[in-house]
Chains A and B, each alone.
Chain A
Amino acid sequence: MKTIQNIGIIIFLIGLGIFSALPFMGTFKLDQGTFDGIVAEKRIKSDLFIQDIQQNVVGKEYNGMINLSSNISKALDNANEAHVKNKEYKKKIYTKSSEMASLIGKRSGSGYIVNNKGIMWMLTFGLGIIGALMFIVPQVLTLGKKGIKNDGIYHQSSTNRGWIAWLVFAFLVSFYMVLYFGSEYAVNWTYLVDPISESLSGNPAGHWFVYGFMYCVIMVVMAVRMYIKYRHNMYQMVRTTSVLFFQIIFAFLIPEIMVRLQMPYYDFKNAFPLDYDFFFQWNLKSLINSGGIGLFILVWGIVLTLVIVPVMVYFFGKRWYCSWVCGCGGLAETLGDPYRQHSSKSLFSWKVERWLIHGVLVFAVFMTGITLYSFFAETGTVMGIKTSGIQNTYSLAIGSVFAGVIGTGFYPIFGNRVWCRFGCPLAAYLGFVQRFKSRFRITTNGGQCISCGNCSTYCEQGIDVRAYAQKGENIVRSSCVGCGVCSAVCPRGVLKLENGPEAGRINPTQVLLGNDVDLMELVNNK
């Protein structure tokens, strides 16, 4: 078994290695016809840029994207600079250089990778999946009888912030940097999944399709790990199945198929304000122009946030969204599970959490307010604030850096829920409902707590669960996403996630159950 697992790791690393090397590989040659097509499609009016590209790029063969992309961005910057200087604003190109480079790159790729997409898929995704499963599946036997499987977590480099954890951190952060800020380097990755994308939406894959596909693949593979690790715990099995279902069907397949059907791309479970650009002008316009389905999405999006989300939180707690449906939660609960113990449980972190997450919520609401005002008033600035400026700031700082680079990149260091705990505005909103008007709580089983600390250690949201349990108090916290792991790891059966009557949900106690009844009444009713 150990041998199979080791071979699995090697295969996985080969796949990962090839995948990581792809951004530096491949041949790219832009021909005149393709370029003319791009000029027409993008309505490029900059003669300077067209000339520059025709002279320096067209017909030349590039190895890897690095030189090609730098030539394109140079050409674009020079052209724009000249146009601004000459006040030829109509000629200025507003497409970002990274986006232009990926567009040109994608159309001009040639050579082995482009011509052997299937084989290349096998060498990257294929090897990764096979290798990972060869490592994971034997755990059915190597982990022994079903039960809690946390042996050695704090002895291993990968799960104890050792060098492996730091390597994973570096990889994840670089990956997200490429995704958000250097999509031209993802061009080769898009070729691998072109056939899949074409079969779904009919279009060739962009870098977001790569991300979406990878997201699903990683979740499926890591869900296999969850099924094995938590096979004694039905709650975890059902919950894992649920997040998988919503990711693959709702977040990945339905939007792609909708595109094929000439409908807007929309993830029906992605609720505002997590879906922060729902009310952006371009989205509203696209929805309004999409006929019946567009209107339906518009109404659904609003009803989802204003009615469905809070009502469901009232009955089931915010877990129904955060750990059963949400994509961010889905990744956190599968890929992130090995890192859940790294969330800080200090009171200081809790204070930071409350400032940050509520700050982001205020920011999101403020930005959306301005966005809607400028939409209806048909203006670009509100009270001297440029709408597009505040939107871009939010998209960059919160949407990309916080949710992506920090949120996932920091899994191995700060735990798997950094974004959900400190940043997600939807979680903040759900949290209010959960804290003040909900039937959900984690019930503490009388006086059975032995203060061992397993619950707190494995709480991904950094809740000091034990602080409540050892006082015999139920856990009612806005940040709890109801993953159920505290209850799973408790060695004494103290914790149970339940939806019950609101009365008595919050039950501060001084003297625990088991001590004399008169004394308890005396003290607790004081």
Chain B
Amino acid sequence: MEHIVIIGNGIAGVTAARHIRKNSDKRITVVSTETDYFFSRTALMYIYMGHMKFEHTQPYENWFWKKNRIDLVKGYVNTVDHLNKSLILANGSSIAYDKLILATGSKPNKFGWPGQDLPGVQGLYSKQDLDQLEANAPDNKTCKRAVIVGGGLIGIEMAEMLRSRKIPVTFLVREDSFWNGVLPAGESALINEHILEHHIDLRLGVNLGEILADENGRARAVVIKETGEEIACDVVGLTAGVSPNVDFLKDSGIELGRGIKVNRHLETNIKDIYAIGDCAEQHESIGNRRPIEAVWYTGRMMGETVAQTICGNKIEYKPGHWFNSAKFLDVEYQTYGWVFSERGMKEYEQHFHWRDDKELICITMAFHKETKQFLGINTFGIRMRHEIFDRWLTEERDVFYVMEHLKDANFDPEFYTTYETKIVSKFNSEFGTNITPKKKSWKRIFSNA
């Protein structure tokens, strides 16, 4: 029986394992050093905040793995020996494989800051990081202030976590507005305001100079590069992005760039070795996507795809329309299709932005300047229907059609205030159109379902 070994029990690896089991009777082994069982990495923050316990972040009960004959090995892989098709673990044991899937995920970036390895300085990616944060910042007496370095999704999550225990937080963001490499200006501004509302000391346009140690060698303060200001703190969170966790493969013969180089079939340069999820790097970008996509959803999609290939239905990784989501403190964010920030905007891209005058709610729609084809939407504080936007993108609808049928796309809970009328009337006045939004129609919504 063919033995499939998967390194990494995150969403990519586990999705691959589940789908291989669905489609075949192959022997499956998942190796991980992080935890015994799969858990949802995106939920780590909620454990610290007291919304859940660790066990709640595990999507499958513990009996699931044995019942589905997925062997779990807790161990750290030191070496991949592809000549002998064998893995050598840190404890000296080895595992032979017929096919190997690398799904080793990411690790937090460190950019050589002085003091970046001091006790009290940490990232937030793994279960171990969470345990460390619990030790470093159990309450606001032990941790009188925390400084977070890096204005991305993990940074703002970490700030929210610490604030849930009333720990004062200073948030250093390199950009002059939060996440504005990704978000258009209006949205980025809305999040800036929201961060301040949560009593987070947001510092825009600053970089970390160095981290200072106290007499015991623990972090005691950070120094801001630009101003030289020293900010006393007990914990420093390094959240300046992540990069593929591939150091152990350096001498393996597997081709590496920043990540593990793969073709569209998610195959590496070595036969029978595949890479999926955060650690995989496409030779060439797919559409507007980045070669490395460290996103939950793409990890899952690559897992679904590689399982097909391994089970004899060789298939390319063909992600559909881009989508993503996040939550910035209390504001939910969803995106469908492509809306670029001013920095990354395509020359044909035009934006329509609407923001409510009272609530923290806004949307930005991107469309083609000439053809008016709808390209994508960012929504803040309004939930939208994935299926509808996916369909509209496939059907290459123009922005007028989208405006007219916007009510079909609303996914907010019942009885919520709706904003389509306001949105469309602003669009009308900006573009001289005369669109009336159509009533929501179940028939249209479920026409393809």
Contacting chain B: which of A106-114, A229-237, A407-415, A421-429? A229-237
Contact B332–A234 (Cβ < 8 Å): no
**Is the Cβ of A456 less than 8 Å from the Cβ of B50?**
no
* CB pair B413 A484 closer than 8 Å: yes
Report B-chain residues with C-beta under 8 Å of the C-beta of A466. Answer: 59
Which 8 residue pairs of A and B lie closest in terms of their CB atoms, listed nearest first? A446-B386, A147-B330, A516-B318, A493-B383, A452-B43, A234-B415, A152-B50, A504-B449
Inter-chain contact B50/A493, CB cutoff 8 Å = no
How far apart sit A510 and B22, CA to CA, in the bound complex (Å)? 9
A33 at the interface (CB under 8 A from B): no
Min C-beta distance of A331 to chain B, whole Å: 23
Whether the pair A451, B385 counts as a contact (CB closer than 8 A) is no
| Chain A facing B: main interface SS | loop
A234-B415, A487-B413, A497-B414 known; 15 new pairs, CB 8 Å cut-off, are A145-B198, A146-B330, A234-B414, A445-B385, A445-B411, A450-B40, A453-B58, A456-B56, A496-B411, A496-B413, A504-B446, A514-B321, A515-B304, A515-B318, A519-B318
Is there an interface contact between B51 and A145, defined as CB atoms closer than 8 Å?
no
B344 in contact (CB, < 8 A) = no
Q: How far is the CA of A240 from the CA of B234 in the complex (A)?
A: 43
| A-B pairs with beta carbons under 8 Å apart, 29 shown | A145-B330, A146-B330, A147-B329, A148-B330, A150-B51, A151-B49, A234-B414, A234-B415, A347-B61, A445-B383, A446-B323, A446-B390, A447-B300, A448-B386, A452-B46, A452-B57, A453-B46, A457-B52, A466-B59, A491-B327, A492-B332, A493-B332, A493-B383, A504-B449, A510-B22, A513-B320, A516-B319, A516-B320, A517-B394
Contacts of B387 in A (CB 8 A): 445-446, 513
Closest B residue to A466 by beta carbon equals: B59
Residues 464 to 493 of chain A near chain B (Cβ within 8 Å): 466-467, 470, 484, 487-489, 491-493
Q: How far, in whole Å, are A437 and B114 apart by their CA atoms in the complex?
A: 65
Which residues of chain A are within 8 angstroms of B323 by Cβ–Cβ distance?
446-448, 514
A456, A512, A514, A516 — most chain B CB neighbours (10 Å): A514
Confirm or deny: A85 has a beta carbon within 8 angstroms of a beta carbon on chain B: no
A498 contacts partner chain B, Cβ-Cβ < 8 Å:
yes
Within 8 Å CB of B330, what residues of A?
Answer: 145-148, 232
0/1 string, B289-311, CB within 8 A of A gives 1: 00000001100110011001000
Q: Which residues of A contact B326 (CB under 8 A)?
A: 492
The reply to whether A515 and B305 form a contact with Cβ atoms under 8 Å apart is yes
Nearest CB of chain A from residue B411's CB, rounded to whole Å: 5
What is the CB-to-nearest-CB distance from A96 to chain B, in angstroms, rounded to a whole number?
46
Contact status A500-B442, CB under 8 Å: yes
A491 and B51 CA atoms in complex are apart in Å by: 12
A-to-B contact residues, CB < 8 Å: 144-148, 150-156, 232-235, 237-238, 346-347, 443, 445-448, 450-454, 456-457, 466-467, 470, 484, 487-489, 491-493, 496-498, 500-501, 503-504, 507, 510-519, 522-523
A233-B413, A446-B390, A453-B57 known; A515-B40 Cβ under 8 A: no
- Chain A residue numbers with a CB within 8 Å of B394 are 517
Asked if B415 and A238 make an inter-chain contact with CB atoms under 8 angstroms apart, the answer reads: yes
User: In the complex, A505→B176 CA distance in Å?
Assistant: 46
Does B434 make an interface contact (CB < 8 A)?
Answer: no
B369 on the A face (CB < 8 A): no
B11: Cβ under 8 A from any A Cβ? yes
B325 within 8 A of A: yes
Q: In the bound complex, what is the Cα–Cα distance between A30 and B269 (angstroms)?
A: 97
Tell whether B445 is near chain A: CB-to-CB under 8 Å: yes
In the complex, what distance in Å separates the CA atom of A423 from the CA atom of B11? Answer: 37
Docked pose: A157 CA to B315 CA in angstroms: 52
Q: In whole angstroms, what is the CA distance A456 to B318 when docked?
A: 31
B106 contacts partner chain A, Cβ-Cβ < 8 Å: no
- By the criterion CB–CB under 8 Å, are B319 and A447 in contact? no
Q: Say whether, besides A146-B330, A453-B40, A513-B386, A152 and B49 are in contact (CB < 8 Å).
A: yes
Q: Give which listed residue, B46, B56, B319, contacts A514 with CB less than 8 A.
A: B319
Bound state CA distance, A147 and B442, in angstroms? 29
Complex Cα gap A233–B412 (Å):
10
Is B128 interfacial (CB-CB < 8 Å)?
no
User: Which single residue of chain B is at the shortest CB-CB distance from A443?
Assistant: B411
Q: Given contacts A152-B50, A454-B52, A510-B22, is CB(A447)–CB(B386) below 8 Å?
A: yes
- The smallest C-beta distance from A27 to any residue of chain B, in angstroms, reads 49
**B414 near A491: Cβ-Cβ < 8 Å:** no
Q: In the complex, what residues of B have CB within 8 A of residue A514's CB?
A: 297, 301, 319-321, 323, 386, 390
> CB of B170 within 8 A of chain A?
no
